[in-house]
Amino acid sequence: MKKLLSIIVLGLLLSGSAYANKISYICQFENKNGKLIGSKRLYEIKNNKIFEDTYEVEDVRDLEISKDIVSFKFNSKIQGYTDTSYHKVNLITGNFYEIDYLDNGGADTSFGKCKRF
């Protein structure tokens, strides 16, 4: 009986950690009036790799995952320029923001809403 209980507990522990390593959520940006705009983006985190709309996000750094928050840095390449970006999502409230640090020293901040599934 003790062996059976040990096997069950071990199985639950292993399955819990496997679930924690897979997160999926959909985000959409907001305009200055708080209205959702543009197309939705699917984010999936599997085995510490991040995918946006099924494509792996390259140059990901500082990935942090808790029960409430997902955050990471990455390099985005837009129109030939490479910028460092920061992405943070609150999985409880659904709020997210993304900061694009520009090579010229400036930054653009975007806000939006996400839904976990």
Domain contains 86 = yes
Residue 47 domain boundaries: 22-116
| Alpha-carbon gap, residue 65 to 55, rounded angstroms | 20
pLDDT in tens, the chain (117 residues): 555 445 555 454 444 444 456 899 999 999 989 999 999 999 999 999 999 999 999 889 999 999 899 999 998 766 666 688 999 999 999 999 999 888 777 888 999 999 998
Query: Whole-prediction pTM value?
Result: 0.75
- Number of structural domains in the chain: 1
Domain contains 11 = no
- Find out whether 51 and 44 touch, Cβ atoms under 8 Å: yes
What phi and psi, each to the nearest 5 degrees, are found at residue 12? Answer: -65, -40
Domain contains 85 = yes
Cβ partners under 8 Å of residue 38, min gap 6: 28, 29
